Amino acid sequence: MRARSMVTALLTGAGFALAGLLGTGTASADVTPLIVGGSDADQEYSFMVSLQRGTGGHFCGGSLIKPDWVLTAAHCVDGTSPGSVRARIGSNDRTQGGETAAASEIVVHPDYDGQSAGADIALVKLSAPAKSAPVSLGSTTDPGTKSRLLGWGQTCPERGGCGAPVTLQQLDTQVLDAAKCTDIDGSVELCTDNPGGKAGACYGDSGGPQIVRTGSAWELIGITSRSGNGDPTCATGPSIYTSAPAYSSWISQHAG
C-alpha cells in the first residue's frame, strides 16, 4: 500500500493518514471528530461545516465558501451520492444548532486518485443557499504563517482510543517548510506543524479548515488531508493540508 493511501485510511477512521486522518466518503460509523491537543472553540465560526450522513452522523469537516458551496477533501466524498449527505453549518455543536442543508451535487477534483499527492479537494453544492457568512480564500501560505485548525476529530492519538467530542475543537499552529512532511507536493499542499510534537489533526478532522486571521476576519488556506509522516498514530508528526489558494482557479470554475 502506498504511503498516501495508508495515511488516508488512517484519517477517515481507517486512517488519519490520508483520508483517514480526517474522514472519508467510505468511512465507517467509528469515524468520529476531534483535534488532538486542542481546546473547545472560543468563538462561533459561521463557515464551519459538519458533513453528515442522512442519519446525522458526522464523517468529515468542511468550509462554507459560497452561500451554496462547501469546500472539503476529495477523500471525504469521492464515490458518495449527494443524496446521502447533509451539512450542518455555523454551529460549534455537531448535533444541533446552526442551519442544515442537503447536498445536491458533489464535484471531486479530476486529478484526485487516492494515491498521488495533491488534488485532495472537492466541492459540495447545497440544495439551498445558507444564511451563514462564508469564509474567503486566503493567499498567504509561506512557512511560518500562523494558522488555526478546526474540527470534530478524535482527541486522543490512537485510533478508536476515545470518543468524539460534540463541541468543535481548535488548535493554533503554523505552516512549515514542505520538506518537513513526507510524500507531499509542496506546490499544492501545506505541511502543518504539530505543536509540542503531540498536537494536531486526527481521525474525523478530514476536510476541515486551516484558517488564518486577517484583520478582524478569518481566511481559508488549507483543507485537512492526511498525516505528514505516514504514522497511524495522530499528532506524532506534521499534517498535510490541501492548499486552497493553489486551487482557487478550479474552485472559481465550479463555484463562481
Residues forming the active site = 75, 120, 206
- Report the run of H or E that residue 146 belongs to, with start and end: strand 146-151
Neighbours of 2 (CB within 10 A): 13
**69-104 residues labelled b (16+ CB within 10 A) or e (exposed):** bbbbbbbbbbebebeebbbbbbbbebeeebebbebe
129: amino acid identity, one letter: P
Neighbours of 160 (CB within 10 A): 12
**CA distances from residue 57 to 148, 198, 201 in whole angstroms, order as listed:** 24, 27, 19
The CA distance from 38 to 250, in Å, is 32
Per DSSP bridges, beta strands 217-227 and 136-137 are parallel
Which of 223, 42, 221, 237 lies closest to 147, judged by CA?
221
